[in-house]
Amino acid sequence: MKLKSKIKKFLGRIIKATYNIWYKFVPVDEKTILFISFHGRGYSCNPKYLHKYLLTNEKYKDYKFIWAVKKGKGKDISGAEVIRYNSVKYFYYLAKSKYWIVNCKLPRHILKKDDQVYLQTWHGTPLKRLAHDIEIGADAKFYRTGISKKEMTETYDIDVNRYDYLISPNKFSTEKFQSAFDIERNRIIETGYPRNDYLTNISDLEIKKLKEKYKIPEDKTVILYAPTWRDNSFNVKGYTFKLEVDFIKWKEILGEEYVVLFKPHYLITNKFSNKGLEKFLYTISEDKDINELYVISDILITDYSSVFFDYAILQRPILFYMYDLKEYEEEIRGFYLDIKKDLPGNIFTKEEELLKEILSIEKYKKNTSKLLDDFNNTYNYLQDGHASDRVIKILFE
């Protein structure tokens, strides 16, 4: 291990040990709110849209908003004090803030006082089984750390015990969260997701401006390819993703009328090149808000990511490219849904078949429209553009 890394770890231990002693002596400020999204990876997801809602509401003009982000992130945050995730200031505001608004599991060393309020927004309707619901043998190992299922579920139990509220986007998620997180129904607020207010309320003019921001030609059909990570693919730096698509082939078959936005999952650490595919392939960095990519795209291609639950709100075609379906279903996680019946689109395991379907996308859209309508009636019935309002009323009033 390099000396710099050793020093960093040592300092981290000192900060955490000190925090354990003095956090209780820092008085809680009734009007301070701490926001964390994906462990400080940027300004995104439900915490972002709750923050934006609070900024536009006169009732909360006297509140102090704190965003904890990793080094180099958060340059697009306004209306808040931006601090470094895991810094001394971060631990200070954990102790000081009346409200925590977080979309990811907090580590076990985080301490919460009785008079603090922890709103766990989570980050998606689950397709893949979570926590206690994962049905893999007792000897299975989880994450890069190789912990047991018992150890893995304990990391959830510790954090869930701190929740005051957990947001649910629909009845289905409420039921699954209860079993996966072993949480009582009365701590779950079934409000819809604040981040999806954006998808419901977006205007054509705003979409046009976003295309200009990402330098996407107006006359192209935009495909968003957003695959998830694989629990069993990692190295010393983090999770890796073997790209099982040939974008050169995509360009040859689809032609000049299409462009592709490739958005790897935020946990994936390896980098991807678009050399030779300029003006066809746009690789989007992991800290960008995927909501912006949803609204500027015409088609979504994904695999086992929960992105399709949100994207369905836009009533645009969704295709599922599951080249490793058998392995994923049997060896990695398992699903809550019957994917052969419940998805709002068709599954493809061969790249050629996927591309062929894209070329006749209008026909595909017509054939899957009822699937999409039924899906939205089941999973997106709460997404009326006012979820943020419902959450904030529960949290503060």
**Claim to verify: residue 154 and residue 216 sit in the same structural domain:** no
**Domain match, 274 and 289 both:** yes
Percent of the chain with pLDDT over 70: 88
* Residue 63 shares a structural domain with residue 76: yes
- pLDDT for the residue numbered 236: 42
Q: What pLDDT shows up at residue 18?
A: 86
On the question of pLDDT at 237 being above 60, the answer is no
- Average pLDDT of the segment spanning 318-329: 86
Residue 344 sits in the same domain as residue 210 = yes
Residue 328 has a pLDDT of 74
pLDDT at 272: 53
Output the pLDDT for position 347: 96
52, 143: one domain: yes
- Asked if pLDDT for residue 349 goes beyond 80, the answer is yes
pLDDT bin (cut points 50, 70, 90) of residue 244 is: confident
Distance separating alpha carbons of residues 260 and 34, to the nearest angstrom: 35
Residues 190 and 211 in one domain: no
When pLDDT is cut at 50, 70 and 90, the band that residue 232 belongs to is very low
Residue 267's CATH number? 3.40.50.12580
Shared domain for 178 and 35, answered yes or no, is yes
Residue 231 pLDDT > 60: no
Residue 142 reports pLDDT greater than 60? yes
Mean pLDDT to the nearest integer, 50-54? 98
If you ran DSSP here, which 8-state letter would residue 28 be given?
Answer: P
Q: How far apart are CA 172 and CA 251, in angstroms?
A: 39
pLDDT at 55 over 60: yes
**Cα separation values, 58 from 92, 280, 300, Å:** 27, 44, 37
Say how far apart CA 250 and CA 189 lie, in whole Å: 43
For strands 221-226 and 299-302, give the pairing: parallel
Of the pLDDT bands very low, low, confident and very high (cuts 50, 70, 90), residue 234 is very low
Average model confidence (pLDDT) for the chain? Answer: 90
Same domain, yes or no, for 239 and 184? no
Specify the 3-state DSSP secondary structure of 269: coil
The CATH number given to whatever domain includes residue 100 is 3.40.50.11820
Same domain? 316 vs 370: yes
What residues contact 314, with CB distance under 8 A and at least 6 apart? Answer: 199, 294, 295
Higher pLDDT, 330 or 211: 211
Of the candidate ranges 44-48, 193-197, 277-281, the one whose mean pLDDT is the lowest = 277-281
Please count the structural domains in the chain.
Answer: 2
Q: Work out whether the CA dihedral 265, 122, 379, 177 comes out positive or negative.
A: positive
Both 134 and 54 in one domain: the answer is yes
Do both 66 and 184 map to the same domain? Answer: yes
State whether 192 and 235 are in the same domain: no
Q: Which two tokens stand for residue 262?
A: 């490739």
Residue-number span of the structural domain to which 361 is assigned: 201-379
